[in-house]
Chain A
Amino acid sequence: MKKYEVDVAVIGGGSAGLAAAIVVKKAELDVLILERDKELGGITLQCIHNGFGLHEFEEELTGPEYVQRFINQAKDLNIPYKLDTMVIEVTPAKTIYAVNNKEGLIKIKAKAIILAMGCREKTRGAINIPGFRPAGIFTAGQAQRFVNIEGYLPGRTYVILGSGDIGMIMARRLTWEGCEVKAVVEIQPYVSGLIRNEVQCLEDYGIPLITSYTVTKIHGKERVQGVTISKVDRNFDRVIGSDKFIECDTLLLSVGLIPENELTREAGAEISRMGGPVIDNNLETTIEGVFACGNVLQVHDLVDLVTSEAKRAGLNAVEYVKERYDKKVEKKDQIICTSGENVNYIKPDLINRIDLSKDIIFTFRVKRPDRRLLIQLKDDKNKIVYKRKKIYVIPSEMIELKLNLSEHQIDPDCKNLEVEVIPRPEVMIEED
């Protein structure tokens, strides 16, 4: 078995892995990217629409343009990478086992590991749609890969379930390729992707968006022949008598993404409720020296935010290798971050008390849309340590807060911080 030793191994050569590896290489450490696909770039390569790069480059790029810039930079820096290489195991001692068709089984011993494996789509099984199992049922990202990379059309007439951004972007893409999209069906009472996509991908082409409905039956034995959609009530229960049949030969599912953490879990890292690893404010998992960034940590709506998170993971891995590796492990004194009113989850899960003097970046999502709000951070004695106004929140938009908590008088024995998004009191609204 071929063996390698590196300072930092990066698992995944997509937008997150590339940005992290570039930072590590610039700090003059040995880095190695392991990528399972036949080229670097990851999922951003199949997102051929524009809208990327406004934060990172202050210009609007397509997905391939965005990631090509990082691929070029990685190649200019001579960052080593292995393609067609599938990682099969990560151990808590930071040994990686991987396979590829040139070397067979390989072993990589790393001082630090950056997890950047991205996420995958929920499938029909995750949402339990009854009916036969005909051909013609795809996830939206799978269809995106067929259309934009492989050059195949998955069908001719479509119903798309889920109004996430990929679903809406595929509706326009398929229309441009001469297909007919009959409807985008959304179980929530509101669109789940960006307004921009609702306007430019659906309204521009007269594609109906049907909210508070879901697919309750798939028709057809060999090939999809249509779907039944039904109205749902506030508890998402089917409303009797509301069934409608829509004829189509293909059903696309755009019903959510799950961070891909089989390796992380097997390595023994703690996983949080949303599927990503538990991390501290340095993006370090519960395994010392193992960091996580990008969609493997939390599903992002903008690749620019993946990049900035990955750069932080890279810097923290460098700091670990240079300052903490080989030193005695000290038990961390940590503050737990929890989700309060209308908060679905918050990252980081933990804050190291010794890092309280540093800037801490919080990212979180709300559970439901709302207007005229207050974002508050409370300690375990219900004291408000930070607050700020927010005009509008929506689950599809991740909220980022950069705070230096030393400026906000945290109690020295505080054990828990809770973030909440609550309606703004009337007095404050009048000040607007």
Chain B
Amino acid sequence: MSAKIKENELPEGFKDIRCIICPTGCIVHVENVNGELIIEGHSCKRGEEYAREEFVAPKRILTTTMLVENGFLPLIPVRSDKPIPKEKLRDALKEIAQTVANVPIKMGDILIKNVLGLEIHIIASRDLIEI
């Protein structure tokens, strides 16, 4: 099976992507041939979409911890509320490492607004009370 998708500003070259959608783990070949995206090797629609996104703009939800002052615990687990472009993860981690949160915190509270100007927020993963 193969699929052709037209795209502007596609990355050059090709990638063999291991699909993570299900345990079958298809190896999907994605190649930019003169501005057209060739996707081969997948066995379902979701796999095709995943491989396409991994080639064009891979993103990840970032999950880490942030320091807390006077908390019941010294750290609060946090995550990005939307997936972050893979190449920006390190910078986002640095910004989170330089931030200290104040208790009390409720799950979903925004602890860093608009991280790196990406219009993505860093939110608390749990409640945390004072010590």
Contacts and interface: CB of A to CB of B under 8 A. Distances in A.
- Tell whether A pairs with B: yes
A203 B18 contact: yes
A139 to B, nearest CB: 20
Interface size range of chain B in the complex: 20 to 34
A150 B65 CA distance: 11
A60 B125 CA distance: 12
A147 B74 CA distance: 11
A239 interface: no
A64 B18 CA distance: 28
A60 B61 contact: yes
Most buried by B among A68, A173, A392: A68
Interface stretch (A106-114, A194-202, A291-299, A402-410): A194-202
Contacts of B24: 391-392
Given A50-B61, A60-B61, A176-B64, A148 B77 contact: yes
B52 interface: no
A397 B86 CA distance: 28
Contacts of A63: 77, 125
Interface residues of A, number: 32
B37 to A, nearest CB: 20
Contact of B65 (A48, A199, A200): A48
A199 B107 contact: no
A65 interface: yes
Contact of A62 (B60, B63, B74, B75): B63
A151 B18 CA distance: 34
B85 interface: no
A149 interface: yes
A48 B77 CA distance: 6
Most buried by B among A65, A67, A194, A200: A65
Interface string B110-131: 0000000000000001110000
Given A68-B126, A149-B75, A48 B63 contact: yes
A215 B84 CA distance: 36
Interface in B79-131: 79, 86, 89, 93, 107, 125-127
A176 B93 contact: yes
Contacts of A65: 79, 107, 125-126
A316 B79 CA distance: 37
Contacts of B72: 39
A151 B107 contact: no
B79 A50 contact: yes
B63 A195 contact: no
A196 B25 CA distance: 9
B23 interface: yes
A394 interface: yes
A196 B20 contact: yes
A151 B126 contact: no
Contacts of B74: 150-151
A64 B77 contact: yes
Interface in A51-90: 60, 62-65, 67-68, 71
Nearest to B75: A151
A62 B79 contact: yes
Nearest to A151: B74
26 contacts: A39-B72, A45-B126, A48-B63, A48-B65, A48-B77, A48-B125, A49-B63, A50-B63, A50-B79, A62-B63, A64-B107, A64-B125, A65-B125, A67-B126, A68-B107, A68-B126, A68-B127, A71-B127, A148-B77, A149-B73, A150-B75, A151-B75, A194-B23, A195-B18, A200-B60, A204-B86
Interface of B: 18, 20, 23-25, 60-61, 63-65, 67, 72-75, 77, 79, 86, 89, 93, 107, 125-127
Interface of A: 39, 45, 48-50, 60, 62-65, 67-68, 71, 147-151, 173, 176, 194-196, 198-200, 203-204, 391-392, 394, 397
